[in-house]
Amino acid sequence: MEVIVSHQNTDFDSLASMVAAQKLYPKAPIVFSGSKEKNVREFLDLHPSFFHVRRLKELDLSNLERLIIVDTRQRDRIGQLSHIVAERQNVELHIFDHHPVHESDLSGKINEIRDIGATTTIMLAHIKSRKLEISPQEATLFALGIYEDTGCLTYPSTRPEDVEAVAYLLKNGANLDTVTNFINRELTSEQLAILNELMSSSENYDINGVRVVIAKASYDKYVADLAVLTHKLRDMGNLEVIFTLVQMHERIHLVGRSKVESVDVGSLAEYFGGGGHTTAASAMIRNSTLEEIEEILLSLLDKYIKPVIKAKDIMSSPVITINYNSTVEEARRKVLSHNHTGFPVVKNDKLVGLITHKDIYKTINHGLGGDKVIGYMHPDVTVLNPSVGLNEVQKIMIESHIKYLPVVDNDKLVGILTYTDVLKSHHSRNKVRVPRNADADFRYHTKNVTSLLENRLTPDILRLIKKMGKIADEMRYNAFLVGGLVRDLLIGVDNLDIDIVVEGLGVQFARELVKKLGGRYIAHKKFATAIVVLPNGFKIDIATARTEYYEFPTALPTVELSSIRYDLYRRDFTINALAVNINPSEFGALVDFFQGRQDIKRGIIKVLHNLSFVDDPTRIFRAVRFESRFGFKIDKQTEHFIDNALQLGVLEKINNQRIREEIILLLSEGDPWVGIARLGALNVLKKIHPKMKADLKARHLFEQVKEVLAWFNLLYLKDKVHRWLIYFMALTNRLDAAELNDFAREIRLNKKHFQVLQTLHEKKVMIHQKLNARQALRDSEIYQTLSHIPLEILLFIMSDTKNENIKKRISRYITDLRKVRISLTGRDLAQIGIPQGPQYSALLETVILGKLDGEIKSKDDEIAMVKSYYAGRKKTSIS
């Protein structure tokens, strides 16, 4: 059995190609894989018995041996038959198509793919070579197919073979009146309404020298022939490139037309799940808004249209500026923070001058650091228009001896261009891309780590990363692995936390991952980030490449979109400012702008800029944490920056909740004492609380906690304890109850953990007194003393005491006594006749105590004890 099929949105070229294929494969029925365009439906209604068409559900596809696919070769565009193609390798494919090559194309036993105006022309060549006769009706349909896909032989994709095919059809009786009626039809009132909205909403964009028009409209029901409306708009305005976006119901229909060779609308439509030719294409999109699709389309066009290198292509943006009213001292701090040699000066967002680092330091040396920047800036600034070519930029720099030039568009500062940018543009081997609102990025690839990825990651994780890289490629995004995984990969530590940064729209990338891989995503639009949760529960963090600015020391950062270089520059340390490209063409390339790999080899923790700890003091804790975790050493310059930040009082200004989180993370490390001792040496501990010390006494207590926890782990109990909380008790051991309460409130400790600390101070003395008894204690007495005490407290007391009796009794409780269970339940008490109430707990605990002391051997003993105890209590209450 054999079947003929085309793409899901049947137009005249696909219908004509299927009918032509049926003449070559006379036993094969035609099957529609999806919907039909309105004019195609009307044509079929006029010729109901002309075609041998079958419904898919009428066919027994278990016997399918051959599939003839025309006017497409993408698996996901042939509807339900795609599953058969994927699952049954024995089905023979014969493919005839004229669309551009795509990496996801099917391949068959016969593949006739030609760069030609219409697939119908390909099929006619076979009909002519076999000398098969065609009827006037068939000739008319074939002419419709060619005329529609070549724009009546006017599209740039039209080839001489298409014109010759039309001549052949005319000789065989093709009716041009019928062709005209279906190609050039009068618009319905609904189509006119949409056309008017498209005309009024049309927006012009100049993208790298190409004029692009995007028009949008909405309609409450489906209206066919959007391609016809797009043609009319294009012809009315003599437009080079046009995209129409029309929302009908919950779907957005995109149609693109292009007369420009550099704009392949077919490739752009493929991004949205559609397809077509370089000059004409379409797509249907679900679960998006018109504004989202327009934004994505503009972003793709920015990246896709190859530009002539201009100032706007290689400038750095967004620009870090300084306000005219700022002091020179503030300018100095900004120079140190961003490692720049100067800044544009702005007033009400307009460029008014330029100040260099030399100007700044000369002014400060004269004791004028408190003066305003405006008094020492250069007011006469040479500026560039964004469209100025690279050669002209270089000429201006050489002739004027200027190393950096602001780029201004309509009085608005949009970028800055340095001599280094110009040199890199000449010498970089990478293609210049133009991310919107971001600088062109010239990456430093120092090593390929593909073999490390293959050795360190599981096969499933590696396949997942490669899939994400392929999806990024399809979206024309650059995607990178970043964060701890890259660092740990080079160190040799296992880490399966996947963090991805894309040069593009992070939330849109997450949406596309979910579309292709399944699962769901949670978007955080403010920070342009998302979390993807795959069907198996595995989580992936997605972020847009961004830069951060700190409006004042210790503030949370302000986020702006940027490139991978700026994204890495905002990281805390060089060892964390590494990325690995996952796009197929550069898979495994290590991106290392700041010598992070070298610092890993040297075992050094180093910040990226001088004011790193002033911007974010919690980095002090992170530096210590990484130092202790990896056995690294904070380098001398970074240690100096820590000391300088502490002298400025940055810890006093930071949100105490952030200090809490950093303390918890540090106490969760394998050996917390290493980090605590380092905080002590750096004079950080006493700034957290004056009674916290890292002396020998504290060290001994931490070592005891470590030993007790090692003992507890060897018991292999199901109970989970918060290790960090026990170390926290050791850290705060010298604080009295009032001081501990105040400190816990200051750092906003979790209510549950706060209560554990309160219980420690309330019960510690009582526990010592009762368990310190020299005489033998019954098991029931130990149980009664400890049964309501959290395990963290018991383990800490074991660590803190030197009394062997206390240690042994707590150990016995943990290992044996608390595991004792009785057979009696609340239901049994009810059956005995005891009314429900608080006495149930007391009765059951009495039974447990009896069992602990050996007074109870069986369930009957338990019942007897309850009856006796209850009767005694009842008699007492009556008397």
pLDDT tens sequence across 410-420: 888 888 888 77
The yes-or-no verdict on residue 434 having pLDDT over 80 is no
pLDDT band at 827 (very low <50, low <70, confident <90, very high): confident
Are the beta carbons of 263 and 305 closer than 8 angstroms? yes
Task: Please state, in angstroms and as integers, the Cα–Cα distance from residue 760 to each residue in 522, 663, 735, following that order.
Answer: 40, 20, 12
Q: What is the pLDDT of residue 25?
A: 92
**pLDDT greater at residue 869 or residue 118:** 118
Name, in order, each residue with C-beta under 8 angstroms of 795's C-beta and a sequence gap of 6 or more. 705, 708, 709, 712, 721, 726
Q: What is the pLDDT of residue 267?
A: 83
- Residue showing tokens 């025309």: 70
Q: What is the pLDDT of residue 245?
A: 95
Q: Is the dihedral of CA 161, 163, 166, 168 positive or negative?
A: negative
**pLDDT greater at residue 62 or residue 235:** 62
Are the beta carbons of 837 and 764 closer than 8 angstroms? no
**pLDDT greater at residue 854 or residue 876:** 854
Of 238, 256, 237, residue with least CA distance to 246: 256
Question: How many Å apart are CA 349 and CA 211, to the nearest integer?
Answer: 29
The yes-or-no verdict on residue 804 having pLDDT over 60 is yes
Are the beta carbons of 20 and 120 closer than 8 angstroms? yes
Of the listed ranges 48-62, 672-686, 785-799, the least confidently predicted one is 48-62
What 3-state DSSP class applies to 210? strand
Q: How many CA atoms lie within 13 A of 263 on its CB side?
A: 27
Question: How many Å apart are CA 396 and CA 191, to the nearest integer?
Answer: 53
Q: What number is the average pLDDT over the span 308-328?
A: 83
Of the listed ranges 341-355, 536-550, 758-772, the least confidently predicted one is 536-550
* DSSP line for 95-140: EEE-SPP-TTB---SEEEE--SS-HHHHHHHHHHHTT----HHHHH
Q: What number is the average pLDDT over the span 715-719?
A: 84
pLDDT band at 425 (very low <50, low <70, confident <90, very high): low
- Residue 142 burial (10 A CB sphere; 0-12, 13-18, 19+): buried
Question: How many Å apart are CA 459 and CA 455, to the nearest integer?
Answer: 9
What 3-state DSSP class applies to 169? helix
CB atoms within 10 A of CB 826: 13
Determine which helix (DSSP H) or strand (DSSP E) holds 780, and give its type and residue range: helix 779-786
Q: What number is the average pLDDT over the span 31-56?
A: 79
Q: What is the pLDDT of residue 877?
A: 53
What 3-state DSSP class applies to 803? coil
Q: What number is the average pLDDT over the span 497-524?
A: 92
Question: How many Å apart are CA 298 and CA 655, to the nearest integer?
Answer: 40
Q: Is the dihedral of CA 334, 339, 342, 347 positive or negative?
A: negative
pLDDT band at 873 (very low <50, low <70, confident <90, very high): low
Are the beta carbons of 3 and 132 closer than 8 angstroms? no
Of 440, 216, 204, residue with least CA distance to 313: 440
pLDDT band at 426 (very low <50, low <70, confident <90, very high): low
Q: What is the pLDDT of residue 875?
A: 54
Q: What is the pLDDT of residue 851?
A: 86
Q: What is the pLDDT of residue 549?
A: 44
Selection from 323-327, 356-360, 423-427 with the highest mean pLDDT: 323-327
Are the beta carbons of 123 and 145 closer than 8 angstroms? no
Average pLDDT, the chain: 85
